[in-house]
Amino acid sequence: MVALIHRAEYAQYDFGPEHPFTPARLAMLLDLLGELGVDLDPVQAPAATREEILTVHDPAYVEVVEALSRGESRPDAEAFGLGTPDNPIFPGMDLAARWLVGGALHGARLLMSGAEQRVLQLGGGLHHAQRNRAAGFCLYNDLAVAIQALVAHGWRVAYLDIDLHHGDGVQSLFYDHDRVLTISLHESGHYLFPGTGHIQELGGGYARGLSLNLPFEPFTGAEDYLEAFDTVVPQALAMFSPHVLVVQAGADAHFADPMGDLALTTQAFEALHRRILDLAHRHAQGRLLATLGGGYDAQVVSRVWTILALTLLDRPLPEALPPAWIERWRPLLGETPPTRLHDPVPAFPPLPGSELRSHHNRDMVSRLLDALARYWL
Amino acid sequence: MLVQEMMRSPVVTIPPEASLKEACNLFSSRGFRHLPVMEGGRLVGVLTDRDLRWATSALCPEPRKLEDPVRSAMSQPPITIDPLDPVEDAARIMREHKIGCLPVMDGPELVGILTGMDILDTLIKLTGVSLPSSRLEVALDDRPGELARLTAFLAERHVNIHSILTYPDADRFVRTVLRVGSSQIRPLAEELRQAGFRILWPRPKPWSR
């Protein structure tokens, strides 16, 4: 009852050799899963159509992506977030992004038809893409297209985002929508991209109180993160009682990630993944649609997402990484390749200032809950 | 930023002979707290909700009645500002006089009103995040060309700057806070460090040292 969604065409979503969002990360992950005995016969979903993209994106924006994708030059590209260091233009990018959207959308359809209870798309998670703008490596918002289809089916949808960065695209696309609850845990926008995701962003109109943000201080570790998660997420889901839980399972909140400053370990990710599965059972009738997301240290993301996949598949986690896999990917694994699935314990020495950080993180959570009380009661 | 870009217009005004009750109705129905008082096309004072509350309070030595005219309770002479004055002047005048609004006068003509809320909106606009961006904080030496060196470095890498805020640091540096349109801020900061810039954020990770 678990569907893995992937196809070779996902590798076409490639901004070039210098870009951090490289498809090599996916290849390493698939190889590791195969090496660990996961039967890799993933569901191959069709690409999303233009019409399906237009359920959340502006026609003018899609038209520019299509033109650039064909190799035409457009002087207004940068106004749409395209042709920037984050979102370079590459031929075929329209279709490359539609493959990923198609995967998430197909996952949603498997849930709606009742064919599956749990779906994991091995790819995607393009949560920064906005209605009329590319941002943060994201062209089309696969999660939002899937959520839109689930909402059109009559379902209430809870969206949970554990990527290092605020899930701004998904949040803003459903900010006023009272059938969608969005919860994002991330490093504070005071410091990190995209700069939003503050606790005051609570949703608009009838959806006030249905947009939740937990912005953590830089260098926040597993303990604070999981404490905040446990304080807010279960009660939010219990209150909202969704038909389905959609998760962006980015791996870049790991301490070794080169993009940001949160300090989760693989053990913390395992705890998170188990909580997510448990919450889907308790509050979303067991229905879970998960995608990957950010995560830019190849050896870290392979391990974190292997933990995610094995957890959703109800399979035990091995202790050691297969030597054959380490050998094959040695050039990408760095000077001292990991030999175990989990991080060493402790993964790093105690951090200075952790008391102050915990204090600040707890205050953030209680301010958020105080603000929510008047909308939830 | 100039006052004319921040002010509100058209302005709701009240004549000095109107009653305090009428003024009170305007405050509550329109949701504002300041009324310029106009007599024969001339600004003669400002009635604030604080003026009104004090004048009608039992604590006031000579409490006014609700039928009394606005003239009896308004603040005067009015302190005003020119539409072409900059935001910093408006903020300084309001701070010095501890007042909450400035009627905006173009010569003898009332063309708008600027309140403390408009100044806060401006602060949010100047410091806030309007596009997806990352924070980059640099301590620049206080001498000509330093900011240019920084912005040229970013321009070479095609990194768009959404906003820049600078303020003097305690020890002779110019703290420069930028919001830049790139999520790859750590690699960028590393390059800047190697080029000799003093980067205050992002900091090296404590566990990687």
Span B153-167, pLDDT tens digits: 999 999 999 999 999
Closest Cα in chain A to B201 = A191
Contact of A177 with A207, CB cutoff 8 Å: yes
Instruction: Label residue A90 exposed, middle or buried (CB < 10 Å: 0-12, 13-18, 19+).
Output: middle
Q: pLDDT band for position B209 (50/70/90)?
A: low
pLDDT at A163: 98
Inter-CA distances, A169 with A63, A142, A187, A195, B116, Å:
19, 10, 16, 12, 32
Active site residue A127: no
Diameter over CA atoms, chain B: 74
Q: pLDDT band for position A184 (50/70/90)?
A: very high
pTM of the model: 0.92
Which residue pairs, CB below 8 angstroms and at least 24 apart, start in A329-335?
Answer: A329/A28, A329/A31, A329/A298, A329/A299, A329/A302, A332/A24, A332/A28, A332/A298, A332/A299, A333/A298, A333/A299, A334/A299
pLDDT at B127: 80
Separation in Å, CA of B76 to nearest CA in chain A: 39
- B206 contacts in chain A (CB < 8 Å): 219, 351-352
In SS3 terms, B38-73 reads as: EECCEEEEEEEHHHHHHHCCCCCCCCCCCCCEHHHC
Cβ <8 Å between B129 and A137: no
* Residue B160: count of CB within 10 angstroms of its CB: 17
Angle at B187 between CA B185 and CA B190, to 5 degrees: 105
Q: pLDDT band for position B27 (50/70/90)?
A: very high
Q: pLDDT band for position A225 (50/70/90)?
A: very high
**Cα(B97)–Cα(B70) distance, rounded to whole angstroms?**
22
Testing the interface with B: which of A191, A201, A252, A300 to mutate, by most B Cβ within 10 A? A191
pLDDT in tens, A319-357: 999 999 999 999 988 888 999 999 999 999 988 899 999
A316 has pLDDT over 60: yes
A377 has pLDDT over 80: no
List, as ranges, residues 158-177 from B with C-beta within 8 Å of A: 158-160
Closest Cα in chain B to A198 = B129
Q: Supply A306's token pair.
A: 């292997």
pLDDT at A281: 98
- A135 contacts in chain B (CB < 8 Å): 132
Task: State phi, psi for A181 to the nearest 5 degrees.
Answer: -100, 125
Instruction: Please state the domain extents for chain A.
Output: 2-376
pLDDT in tens, A68-98: 999 999 999 999 999 999 999 999 999 999 9
Rounded percentage of chain A residues whose pLDDT exceeds 70: 99
**How much is the average pLDDT of B113-131?**
90
Domains of chain B: 3-124 (3.10.580.10), 128-208 (3.30.70.260)
- B205 contacts in chain A (CB < 8 Å): 219, 255, 261
Cβ <8 Å between A192 and B135: yes
- A168 contacts in chain B (CB < 8 Å): 132
**How much is the average pLDDT of B187-202?**
96
Q: Supply A262's token pair.
A: 């949160």
pLDDT in tens, B42-70: 999 999 999 999 999 999 999 999 999 99
Inform me whether the C-beta atom of residue A258 falls under 8 Å from chain B C-beta atoms. yes
**How much is the average pLDDT of A164-183?**
98
Inform me whether the C-beta atom of residue A261 falls under 8 Å from chain B C-beta atoms. yes
Inform me whether the C-beta atom of residue B133 falls under 8 Å from chain A C-beta atoms. yes
The whole-chain average pLDDT of chain A stands at: 96
Q: Supply A334's token pair.
A: 């760095």
**How much is the average pLDDT of A367-374?**
95
Separation in Å, CA of A132 to nearest CA in chain B: 12
| Of B134, B160, B203, Cβ closest to residue A192 | B134
Closest to B84 (Cα-Cα) out of B182, B6, B144: B6
- Residue from A106, A128, A186, A342 carrying the catalytic annotation: A128
pLDDT at A129: 98
Inter-CA distances, A346 with A342, A366, B207, Å:
11, 29, 11
Give the count of Cβ contacts less than 8 A between chain A and B.
73
Separation in Å, CA of A234 to nearest CA in chain B: 29
Q: For domain A2-376, is the CATH number 3.40.800.20? A: yes
Cβ <8 Å between A193 and B133: yes
- B204 contacts in chain A (CB < 8 Å): none
